[in-house]
Amino acid sequence: MLKIYGIKNCNSMKKVFDLLNELGLAYEFHDYKKQGIDAETLKKWLDEVGQDLILNKKGTTWRKLSEEQQQTALENQSNLISALTTHSSLIKRPVLQTEQGYIIGYDEAAYRTLK
C-alpha cells in the first residue's frame, strides 16, 4: 500500500489526493503537521533521496528562518533532522512512499505509472 506524507490543507496535497482517487489507488495518509514526523523516518528519506529533494527552500518557512538558523540546519544531517522535526513545513510535499521507493513533490507522470 502507498503511504503519503504531507499537510492536509496544502494545494499540492489536494492535487495528489484527487489523482490517487482518480487512479483508484489505496493509500494511507500521514499528516506531519498534526501527527509530527520522527527523526528515524527523516533519516531514511535523507539517506535515500537526499536533502535537496526533502528540504523545501522555496517555502515561507525556510525564508522566515534567520540566516544563522539556515546555516545551522545545513551543517550536518543531525541538525537538518532537528530543523525538519521542529518545522515540518520545511519538508517538501508530498512524500509518497511506494514499494519501489519515494516520489517527492507532485509528479503527475510518476504517479500515473503506479499500480
Mean pLDDT of the chain: 95
Q: Distance (Å, rounded) from C-alpha 5 to C-alpha 96?
A: 6
Task: Classify strands 27-31 and 95-98 as parallel, antiparallel or unpaired.
Answer: unpaired
Confidence of residue 115 (pLDDT cuts 50, 70, 90): confident
Number of CB atoms found within 10 A of residue 54's CB: 20
Contact indicator for 104, 52 with CB cutoff of 8 Å: no
On the CB side of 55, how many CA atoms lie within 13 Å of its CA?
21
Q: Which residues pair with 101 in a beta bridge?
A: 98
Confidence of residue 1 (pLDDT cuts 50, 70, 90): confident
pTM for this model (two decimals): 0.91
Q: pLDDT tens across 25-60, in order?
A: 999 999 998 999 999 999 999 999 999 999 999 999
Q: What pLDDT is attached to residue 93?
A: 93
Domain that holds residue 22: 2-112
CATH number of the domain within which 88 lies: 3.40.30.10
Number of domains in the chain: 1
